[in-house]
Structure 1
Amino acid sequence: MNPFVTINDKYLYDQGNVELKPEISHQVETALLFNNRYKVILFGAYTRHPICKSYLAGAGNRVWVYPLNMSSDYSYGIRMTAVNLHPTRWWTLVGNATLTYKKYAWIYDHKKQNNRVMTPLFYLGNYLKPADKWNAELNGYWNGKTPLGQGLISPMWSVSIAVSRSILRDKGTVRLFLNDIVCSRYLRAKVINVEQPAHYKERKEATIGISFSYKLQRGENIKSSNPQRESNESKRIKL
């Protein structure tokens, strides 16, 4: 809501909007759980007055970028997940696939505009335990073309890896990670329904790092669980 203007260059100006209204969202989900490993979720959402970054063409080929309350935001779709799959004793798989339809609507120049796209999303996580005290991860995702307010984001994907080892009698963990190992996170966005074409590009740099964690207290022993109870709890709260 900052009302001051930030001049990025002679063509692009940023400004806040002090007249923003609160957005109100309604969501509903229903899920089916199979064998405590597979889940199928149907979901839907409606948001009134969603707040999104918007673009307005001005004089001198300038484009003003500011947050705006759009008319509505609809989305619905299906999500399928699988957890704790074990191809081998030392390999665990987690994955999900989502297909969602999303539609933004707003008024521009006294005309109703919309941005609607069907978007597929995929994620696969591999968790490996090649030796005692050692763990490894290999995770990746792919997102299809995605709408965001007046913007349309091109497909994007990434792969990350990590290796960790338990030390200090399993109370400490050292972890080495590398996010986006092939430098594929290249954000490309196109602005639609404005008087002049607009594009935005940004390369998300790969990151490498090392972390250390330590458990100050081991804690109490975990009691054996009841699979049927876990299933019921999953149906109730893990949607």
Structure 2
Amino acid sequence: MATVTNQPMNSKPMSGAPLPQSLAYLTQIDQLIIKQKVELLEVLTGCETQNKYEIFNSLNQQIYYAKEESSFCMRYWCGPNRGFIIHITDNDGQEVMTLTREFKCCAGCCWCADACCGFLLRVEAPPGNVVGYCKQRTSCCALHMDLLDAAMQPLFKIWGPCCPCQCICCPSDINFPVKDINNPDKVQANIAKMWAGAMREMLTDADTFGVTFPLEMDVKQKATIIGAVFLLEFIVFETQKNNNQ
């Protein structure tokens, strides 16, 4: 698989400082594919392992790698509701983004997410520099999420479908449009859960997502949308696979 090793430098500032070279690469793209790696140990034993992901551009070149950090006890006892840190690194091993979701007892219920039960994911890009948050919101059944800036001010809103299911009879992509916070009819970006094939879907919990956003979108907002992919992955699809098992 091709990789991008010499990512273009861009002088666009973030918080008054130049972007790191690998993070500045986000200014050059409008599409990403995020593929969860199949873990053989997990397939054979059913024991949840730390998730790993490969992130590609539209030319199928790998640009980032993501790995979950969580304890065995958290994965075993809390399943998809566990706390975790996702470390996103470039192809040289430099960490460019850190996504953190703290464990919250009894969190995940969509009926009372605006109270104490909503998950919150913090996005740092680069690590140590908070650029945004992804916050689960109350809903009847569908995923409802707000994307916030570093000051916790709303930027975008995501409403998922009421039945985000895929099967061999219904292999269509499941879309999670990212909408303007003030104009729900205006779609600013899109996250799609892509059908990965019958065998992969049935035998593993390894998911594939496509992300599209405007080329000119601010890098901080792009990073926050990438963070939203991982939050909805755990809230919706990790939970589905865990329930099925």
Q: TM-score w.r.t. structure 2 length?
A: 0.32
Considering Cα pairs closer than 8 Å and 6+ residues apart, tell me whether 1 or 2 has the greater RCO: 2
**Normalized per residue, which structure has more helix?**
2
Q: TM-score w.r.t. structure 1 length?
A: 0.32
**Normalized per residue, which structure has more strand?**
1
